[in-house]
Chain A
Amino acid sequence: MTPEVVSDPVSRVRRPPVYGRHQFLGVAGFIVFASILATVLDSAYNYGLLSSWLTMSILGLGFYLVFGLGGQFAFSQAAFFGLGAYSSAWASRSTSFGWGLLAAIVIGAAVALLFSLLVFRTNQFYFAITTLAFSQIALVVFREFDAFTGSGGEVIGIRKPDAFGYQFNTDVRIVWLLIGAVGVALFLVAMIERSPLRREALAVHAQPTVAATLGMPTGRLRLLMFVLGSSFAAVAGSLQAHRSGFISTEGFSVALAIDIFLILLLGGVSSMWGPIVGAAFVVVAPEKLRFIGNYRGMVYGILLILVIVVFPKGLVGLFETGWNRIRRRQSTDPEILGDSSAPDPSLEVGR
């Protein structure tokens, strides 16, 4: 801690933490990767898988904001997915896809705001259970409120997406639309990651009382993360509705909410790339691995338990740990080796 700090590898602080760019590079990399997939793959089946992966990625990214950054145990993500789908189908009936999407965002955000204002002061487990109750209420409303959702919660013939006169009316065109949408979603999240908002959300999530004594608006931050994440879900719902042309309440049950937990936890709860990786697993694994397809519930359940017991940082965390190990092995700098004797932060468990 004397002036010779320059030789210390950890002291090379040249700019504020919000300046790093690797997230933005990652977004670009993701778009390239997805575009290659969209070009290489060619069957309707594969386009379907790709589209599901992209839709679930948006849903998972939203949940990353709510649970990963915001630390809020919410089962409502599936319900907001449904709300977005129904709102979009309803608003686009006599207008266009654009209005539907807008309606999904506005209605999703407004309902999320109202809900979280209503149960604002409850503690985290009460909050979790109120989100479960909210999901049940939403499902019943979808099923019964015919003027909004169609008879029995089934809507058919939802128009295909379009933008500025361009029709996304084939499977591959929809894939491109979804790549764009995930790109935008990732970009928005990356901007949050590279801003003070990330650290503020994590602090409020870790120790709300301490955060408040530092002068942080803890309630407002919690609210913000919940509303943002729920709006992401609503956007995903809108895209899902217009992609498939058909929605029913089946697709928005609590089972989906639990899948979303798995997406985030398996992928990695502490990284924005977690939900992308997790969504790929949840969408592709049951299709490609017969065993998983047949024993889906069992495999998912055991995976949930395994993930939090054995690798709480998820697949992304595993990659990172592996990568760091390789880098350390290559380096012969004694100071860095000395530094690595400190406890590995990735072994720090739970929150």
Chain B
Amino acid sequence: MDRFISLFTIGIAQGAIIAIVALGFLLIYKATGVVNFAQGDLVTLGAYVAVWASTERGWPLGVAYLLAIVVLFVVGIVLERFAYAPLRGRSIHVVVISTLGAALVIRAIILKWMGPTPTRLASPLGFDVITVGKARIPKQNLLIIGLTVISVGGTMLVFNMTQFGRQVRALASDRVTAMLQGIRATRMSMLTFGLSAAMSALAGVLIAPTRAVTVDLGFSVMLYAFAAAILGGMGRLGGVVVAAIAIGLVRQLGSGYINADYAEIYPFILMLVVLAARPEGLFGHDTGSRL
């Protein structure tokens, strides 16, 4: 039971981070139709900005976190300007390849800047743990869960309650009409890229203390986020959050009870099985073809 509690909390915490990245990814997807393959490297970049600020500059962790989020917001806008804006109206294949190119560039910049040696980011809570029965739960995990609840809740509120959210939803359901009705697509896409990158940064600084920080940090998180977005059917945000938590749990529980060597791939196997049965995802619906 203690083992279960421990695995369960880690699973939830990992799922929470995946949920943040997945929501950021969906935000761009809904507002612009772009599948952003640079999402993972934005997570990595966010973590590295915090590492730089806290270890090289010696700034307090809170400042480092904020800096990462702000810097990444700007990076998101730059990304939009260079990798997406020149390609608006081109086929979606083209845009996706461009985000791949952007991912390579971001990764190369990180390597030049911080080098290939793995590094660490401290947790504001240090190595404190809470003991439940015999299970020792790092407080960092609770911080992750707490901040995720706040940010996911905030995203949902924004999405459902504000003018901005309404415009994103309008763009998602019918881009052409939405733009004809005066939604300013340029501003919207810059804003969504910025917000999405800022969310990636949050995920980056949250996940960094739980593992070694390398240039690959964000990649696997991004893949799980993609899997979550797909399982959730790219549709309701709630479905995606549930799928993200499920992925975190499957990974941890599989690692604990089946075989830890193969832990990374349980979520992917889950995704493949679900897609084989329901090609449009768990909560998705077939959009049909347009002619």
Contact = CB atoms under 8 A, between A and B. Distances in A.
* A and B, direct touch (CB closer than 8 Å): yes
Interface of A: 73, 118-123, 125-126, 128-130, 132-134, 136-137, 140-141, 144, 209-210, 254, 258, 261, 265, 295-298, 300-305, 308-309, 312, 349-351
Contacts of A258: 100, 104
A248 B271 CA distance: 27
A301 B279 contact: no
A248 to B, nearest CB: 16
B109 to A, nearest CB: 7
Nearest to B287: A123
A298 B106 CA distance: 8
A300 B104 contact: yes
Interface in B111-125: 111-112
A304 B261 contact: no
B227 A129 contact: yes
A133 B227 contact: yes
B97 A349 contact: no
Contacts of A119: 272, 275-276, 279
Interface residues of B, number: 45
A247 B105 CA distance: 28
Contact of B86 (A130, A141, A309): A309
A130 B272 contact: yes
A137 B269 CA distance: 8
Given A129-B227, A305-B83, A350-B91, A261 B100 contact: yes
A211 B58 CA distance: 62
Given A140-B262, A300-B101, A304-B97, 13 more contacts: A73-B93, A119-B272, A119-B275, A126-B275, A126-B279, A129-B227, A129-B230, A137-B269, A301-B104, A301-B105, A301-B108, A305-B82, A350-B94
A136 B265 contact: yes
Nearest to A207: B291
Nearest first, the 7 closest Cβ-Cβ pairs linking A and B are A301-B104, A297-B108, A304-B101, A350-B91, A301-B105, A121-B279, A133-B268
Contacts of A130: 271-272, 275
A304 B104 contact: yes
Nearest to B35: A125
A312 B87 CA distance: 12
A243 to B, nearest CB: 27
A133 B271 contact: yes
Interface in B248-291: 261-262, 264-265, 268-269, 271-272, 275-276, 279-281, 289, 291
Interface in B210-246: 219-220, 223, 226-227, 230
Given A123-B279, A126-B279, A129-B227, A140 B98 contact: no
Nearest to A212: B289
A350 B93 contact: yes
Given A140-B262, A254-B219, A261 B97 contact: yes
B21 interface: no
Given A122-B279, A297-B111, A351-B93, A132 B291 contact: no
Contacts of A144: 261-262
Nearest to B38: A301
B107 interface: yes
A209 B226 contact: no
B98 A308 contact: yes
B28 interface: no
B19 to A, nearest CB: 17
Contact of A297 (B91, B105, B276): B105
Nearest to B268: A133
Contact of B102 (A132, A295, A301): A301
19 contacts: A118-B276, A119-B272, A136-B265, A137-B269, A141-B265, A209-B289, A261-B97, A296-B108, A297-B105, A297-B111, A300-B104, A301-B100, A301-B102, A301-B106, A304-B100, A308-B90, A308-B98, A350-B91, A350-B94
A46 B261 CA distance: 40
A261 B99 CA distance: 13
Contacts of B289: 209
Contacts of B104: 258, 297-298, 300-301, 304
Contacts of A128: 35, 96
A304 B103 CA distance: 11
Contacts of A301: 100-108
Contacts of B269: 137
Interface string B57-93: 0000000000000000000000000110011001101
A118 B272 contact: yes
Nearest to A310: B86
A126 B279 CA distance: 8
Interface string B178-209: 00000000000000000000000000000000
Given A304-B98, A309-B98, A349 B90 contact: yes
Contacts of B100: 258, 261, 301, 304
Contacts of A134: 268, 272
A210 B227 CA distance: 30
A122 B264 contact: no
Nearest to B95: A308
A256 to B, nearest CB: 13
A302 B103 CA distance: 10
Contacts of B219: 254
Nearest to A213: B291
A136 B96 contact: no
A137 B223 CA distance: 12
A60 to B, nearest CB: 16
A312 B94 contact: yes
Nearest to B284: A126
A140 B265 contact: yes
Contacts of B102: 301, 305
Nearest to B90: A350
Contact of B91 (A210, A302, A309, A351): A351
